[in-house]
Amino acid sequence: MIDTSKVKLAADIGGASGTLVHRLMRANPNLHGIVVDLPEVVRSAETAARELGLSNRSAAFPSNFFEYVPAADLYLLKHILHDWSDNEALAILKRCRESIQPGGRLVVIERLLGEMGEPALGPLMDLHMMVNFTGRERTLDEFRALIEKAGFHFSKVTRIRPPLAVIEATANEHE
């Protein structure tokens, strides 16, 4: 689903135990991975990498992703942006844009809201996010606008299990 054939280093932003990046690393033996999360969370990523035999290609990087993310060729954000308001999500995306390697990519995996009246779980999750957090579910156009405002160029979207989608973008060259 996510092509890592030309990627040397992938950073799983807010990656907790690193499930996504570790899965990609197991599929691509040349890929190195970093799990970026709060200090009390990244310990689980170190343990998981060790148990999977990936310690030699994996690192856990304790950081607040609003402040700093390490350099990488590919940034993975799975179920991260929906936790945050537009301004907060934009700040996370801008940290990624500031640190991305030339030719790098951004992959966002999120639930997409559909059109009004469309039967789906999205609107209920949107209500949940608004009541319990500062975030919200978004339409593809809303994700695209945030991604482009952060200095990325939207490249494609692949729907996986509806309403989940993989949204891909590249770093704008002129930024």
Give all domains of the chain, ordered by start, each with its CATH number: 9-171 (3.40.50.150)
Among this protein's residues, is 174 annotated catalytic?
Answer: no
Which residue is it, tokens 């290609």? 57
Mean pLDDT for back-to-back runs of 10 residues, the chain (175 residues): 95 97 98 96 96 97 96 97 96 97 96 61 46 75 97 95 91 71
Beta bridge partners of 159: 165
Measured between alpha carbons, how far is 137 from 139 in angstroms, rounded to an integer?
A: 7
Residues 6+ apart with CB under 8 A from 173: none
Residues 6+ apart with CB under 8 A from 153: 169, 170, 171, 172
Q: Per the structure block, which two tokens stand in for 44?
A: 């689980």
Strand order, beta sheet including 9-13: 58-62, 32-37, 9-13, 72-78, 100-111, 164-171, 152-159
Q: Which of 22, 82, 153, 174 is catalytic?
A: 82
φ and ψ at 169, to 5 degrees? -150, 160
**Structure confidence at residue 77 (pLDDT):** 98
Residues 6+ apart with CB under 8 A from 36: 11, 12, 13, 14, 15, 42, 61, 63, 65, 69, 70
Tally helices (H) and strands (E) across the chain.
5, 7
**Structure confidence at residue 133 (pLDDT):** 54
What pTM did the predictor assign?
0.89
Measured between alpha carbons, how far is 79 from 172 in angstroms, rounded to an integer?
A: 23
**Structure confidence at residue 136 (pLDDT):** 87
